[in-house]
Amino acid sequence: MGEVINLNKARKAQAKAQKSLSTAQNRTLFGLSAKLRKTELQKRETRDRQHDGHRLDDRKKDNNSE
């Protein structure tokens, strides 16, 4: 005799496997996940702020000489 299985669990497992497959395909098509995209954006903003903080302001120098 065959093994008794719960059809509802089997159907959900199959749907989950299909969803993970389509998720992997979309990830390759559309790039980074939202979490990675957000962390990259935060890193870039932090880097830009630090860079702007170290910038020399030539306008102050020009205004003082006039």
Q: pTM (2 decimals)?
A: 0.41
Q: What is the pLDDT of residue 57?
A: 74
Q: Is residue 17, in this structure, part of any structural domain at all?
A: yes
Give the integer Cα–Cα distance in Å for 16 and 8.
12
Domain presence at residue 60 = no
Cα angle 46-44-28, degrees, rounded to a multiple of 5: 145
The answer to whether position 62 is within a domain reads no
Whether 65 is in a domain gets the answer no
Q: Per-residue pLDDT for 23 more than 70?
A: yes
Give the pLDDT band of residue 33 (cuts 50, 70, 90).
confident
* Mean pLDDT value of segment 11-22: 95
**Total domains, the chain:** 1
| In-domain check, residue 49 | yes
The residue segments making up the domain with residue 35 are: 7-55
Q: Give the percent of the chain with pLDDT over 90.
A: 42
Residue 66 has pLDDT above 70, yes or no: no
